[in-house]
Structure 1
Amino acid sequence: MDFNGPSTTVMGTEEVDSYYNIWDSLLLAYDQWVALPISGQRPSARYKHAAAVAQEKLYVTGGSRNGRYLSDIQVLDLRTLTWSMVKPHPDPNLDLKGDSNSQEILPASASHSLVKWGNKLLVVAGHSKEPSDTVTVRSIDIETHRCCVEKTSGEVPVARGGQSVTLVGSRLIMFGGEGISRKLLNDLHILDLETMRWDIVQTTQTPPAPRFDHTTAIHAERYLLIFGGGSHSTCFSDLHVLDLETMEWSQPQIQGEEVTARAGHAGATIDENWYIVGGGDNKSGASETLALNMPKLIWSVVTSIKGRDPLASEGVSLCSAEINGEKLLVAFGGYNGNYNNEVFVLKPKPRDSSKPKLFQSPAAAAAAASVKAAYVLTTMTTNKPYVMNADDVTSREIITGTSPQDFTSDINAITTEKKTVESALTEIRLDNSRLKGDLDEMNNTHAELSKELHSVQAQLADERSRCLKLEVQITELRKSLESLQTVEHELQVLQVQKSASEQDMELAAEEQGQRSGGVWKWIAG
């Protein structure tokens, strides 16, 4: 059925018992994905949609399928495991020219973000057929289903899709994405939800490379973590941290499992653990579900699935929810050669949530380091344990959250890390030596090729000089030939003239003989 207005569902005793029995039967094991037995009609399969959980319901908006953007709002009731569709109403204060078509109220879009804020769902940015020049923020009232465009001010960011949007207190922090004309971005903007004002943030140190389809999480309401994503040519496996108090970027050392590069994945946090599912590297889908212990920055693999499993998809969504007292991960949709519309849940096994050690202020870190240094120095010089007074112990415990017995393990850890670093340094030196040899060989080859090139160039210059001489000789011969032809022509003319002259002389002689012939004949006679 459609949700067209406020409603309150009252579950009977039998329905409540059935509800709990379903979830109890589903959640028997930790760290295993389970497909929900959905009843009734499912929404169309899709990817690059957005999802959020509110009031034990999973809300899914938009997405893409077969190159077409979607504009629907689908709702999965996690109590009854049934889907329904919401038809948003226009805000009565908006002028939609009398047309309440939901596509105008909430345009078809993909690669947008969905954030729960109070009793509203905020739809931020995304790609659509009729994009605007700047980022648009729309709100959907969870109770009344009224939808409107929120008026924002300040330095409104350029339009984009594939960005990350993270809620921190009453602020939305937006990073990166793919802008107009497929331009990749790594800018940082903050929207104050109390004033609806955008501000661009100036940061220090090296920010992450421009990217889209990454994911983010917030730790201790202070540290913004960014993982993975892609550019137009590659995918990333890096982790960056932004301190929201100092606005300083860092790329801390990570421990634990080595993670593969991926983009189009999804993330959700439960307690101090950040869970990552799906995504891929342009070759195959990521089959591992990852968990990052945020205080210690340690990666671990929660579970692995088959490569063609719907969860090894790009454009999948992941939310955290609490059902029947259990904290769960809820995944929906995605594309891995096929569009998916299944819903999976996973009950994470409780993990270590000890006090933060990597995320501490510089002053606290320096103080802790000085205490440890004093201990190590005293132990090394006197072979006796460093004895602290009450003030020292209190100061140390406040700063580091450790007891005196922790120093031995800390020293062992530092020693082990030192050996690891020295081993890595030796390997780097060997690599440098090998690379130097390769470079020398390349330089020698380059020198030989340069000599050969110079020789060929000299030969080519000689040939060019010879060609020029031949061309000069040919020109002179042509001129001589033309002169010879002229002389030959004149000779022919003279020969003709001579022949004509000789003929004239013969005719004259004959005429003379004829005139004197009678006299001779008479003498002869």
Structure 2
Amino acid sequence: MDSACKRHCSELVARERSGHTAVVEENLLYVWGGYMSVSNDEILLPNNELWVYDLQQGVWNVFHMTGDAPPSMSGTCGCFLNGHMYIFGGCDDDGQTNQIYCVDLTDGKYMWKRIMHETGSAPSPRDKLSCWIYKGRIIYFGGYGHKLQTDVDSRNRNFIIDEVAWAGSDLWGWNSEVHMFDPMRVSWSEPQTYGQAPAPRAAHAGASTGSRGYIFGGRVRETRINDIHCLDLESWTWSEIIPVSTGPVGRSWHTLTTVSDSTLFLFGGLSADCKPMSDGWLFDVKTKKWREMEHPYKDKPRLWHTACPGRDSDVVVFGGSCDYILLVDTGHCNDALVFQMQPHPLFRICEDYIAKTVRSHKMLRSQLSYLPPELLTAVQRRMCFYRPSKKQKY
């Protein structure tokens, strides 16, 4: 029993980071990129490292990535589709990019592929944007980046210029553009949208249910907002949702995660008065009601973290900063916080109970060998999660 656990358990722990990419598939959390602080410097993390956390065992592994790798970046937009992790945009040592890459997470090779589109035009370089998956396509919204002056129409309301960041022929700013990438056709397009589009923004959060994509909050200029908008992904029509109850304050660098057909979960972020947040909120898209959620991580504020839907509607939050990173930038994190959104199935409750108590329960320990082989393996893997050994920082 103990030897089986030791064979599976590792003392590796992923590096602290913010502005990274993460996706969950089955019981595995995949983490790439982002940056950390060393002394007074911001260091982008290696582009050839993929960190994988087994959510059942509580064990980290790191894999070397090959292929046509993207540069080390933060603020890229990542998603999971058909066994692949896609990333678009982000900020490297030379500024924002507009390249798209993917890696197959199912074959164990972890080989990057740079995607060269065959039709359409890629969006302008940007970071801190969001995306939705719908009918096998990736739909991107917003972000902060730069355009040529000749590409900016003063009458166009989907780009707000950042007056502080002018540089030569380039204009920096926030946008509210919608772009769509089709991996099957390897094509970019820019759908015509209708209705009142949200104000341009970056560092907002997005999630989707059914055929609707939602965004909440974000930053434009020095303002952090708390509005929520919906884009119908069939008719491409925008609508603003006016909540019928008091909701979260304005913020940026937070996350929004789908937890049911009608419920979104918001966590953390940086408030309008530059306070790192640890509050969690549930939004019912049908009733338009916000409800603050009690959770065990009130002492763990996070911003520029990731949040992924996990097993049994859990939400897995990883990394981020617990400080106001524009001033302090020392509080990057490397822990995984698992938020339980609904009662767990009976099987999972039993599995967790056995894994927690078997070391101190002599009779239970002696009866483990009677379990069916598949169930015994699952329990042994789960026991690693509750092992008493202390992990060392990688």
Give me the TM-score of the superposition, normalised by structure 1: 0.54
How far does the alpha carbon of each residue in 1:324-378 deviate from its partner, in whole angstroms, 9 at most, with x for none?
xx3311111111221111111121136xxxxxxxxxxxxxxxxxxxxxxxxxxxx
Separation in structure 2 between the aligned mates of residue 65 and residue 265 of structure 1, nearest angstrom? 18
1:178 positional shift:
0.5
2:295, 2:339 within 8 Å by CA — same for their partners in 1? no
Deviation at 1:175, TM superposition (A): 0.5
Q: Which residue does the alignment assign to 2:257?
A: 268
Aligned length: 301
Report what 1:77 is aligned to. Answer: 54
1:242 counterpart residue number: 231
Equivalent residue runs for 1:34-183 within 5 Å: 40-66=11-37, 67-70=42-45, 71=47, 72-90=49-67, 105-131=69-95, 135-142=98-105, 143=107, 144-152=109-117, 153-180=119-146, 182-183=172-173
Aligned to 1:336: 322
Q: Which structure 2 residue ranges, 5 or more long, are not aligned?
A: 147-164, 166-171, 324-330, 344-394
What SS does the corresponding residue of 2:192 show, helix, strand or coil? coil
- The residue correspondences of 1:385-464 to structure 2 (distance < 5 A) are none
CA distance in 1, matches of 2:219, 2:10: 36
SS in 1 for 2:313: strand
Counterpart-to-counterpart distance in 2, 1:79 and 1:14: 17
Does structure 1 conserve the Cα–Cα contact (< 8 Å) formed by 2:88 and 2:100?
Answer: yes
Rounded to whole Å, the distance in 2 between the matches of 1:186 and 1:76 is 34
Which residue in 2 is equivalent to 1:320?
Answer: 309
The two structures have a TM-score, normalised by structure 2, of 0.71
Q: CA shift at 1:253, angstroms? A: 2.3
1:297 to 280, 288, 292: 288
> Following TM superposition, by how much is the alpha carbon of 1:256 offset from its aligned partner in structure 2, in angstroms?
2.9
Gaps in structure 1 of 5+ consecutive residues: 1-11, 20-37, 92-104, 351-525
Regions of 4+ moved over 3 Å: 12-16, 304-307
The aligned amino acid for 2:314 is: L
Query: Which has a greater percent of strand?
Result: 2
In the other structure, the counterpart of 2:357 is none
Give, in whole Å, the separation in 2 of the partners of 1:83 and 1:62.
Answer: 16
**Secondary structure at the residue paired with 1:225?**
strand
The structure with the larger Rg is 1
Which residue in 1 is equivalent to 2:215?
226
The percent of aligned pairs where both chains have the same amino acid is 23
1:47, 1:245 → 2: CA distance?
34
| 2:282 partner amino acid | A
Q: Could you say what secondary structure the match of 1:235 adopts?
A: strand
Aligned partner of residue 209 in structure 1, secondary structure:
coil
1:255 deviation in Å? 2.2
CA distance in 2, matches of 1:287, 1:77: 25
Q: Does 1:348 align with 2:341?
A: yes
CA spacing shift, 1:295–1:56, aligned 2, 3 Å: same
- Deviation of residue 260 (structure 1)? 0.7
- Cα distance in 2 between the residues matched to 1:258 and 1:218: 19
Say if 2:159 is the partner of 1:184.
no
The answer on whether the counterparts of 1:215 and 1:229 sit within 8 Å (CA) in structure 2 is yes
User: What code does the residue aligned with 1:151 have?
Assistant: M
CA contact (8 A) 1:257 1:301 kept: no
TM-aligned CA distance change 1:223 to 1:135, over 3 Å? same
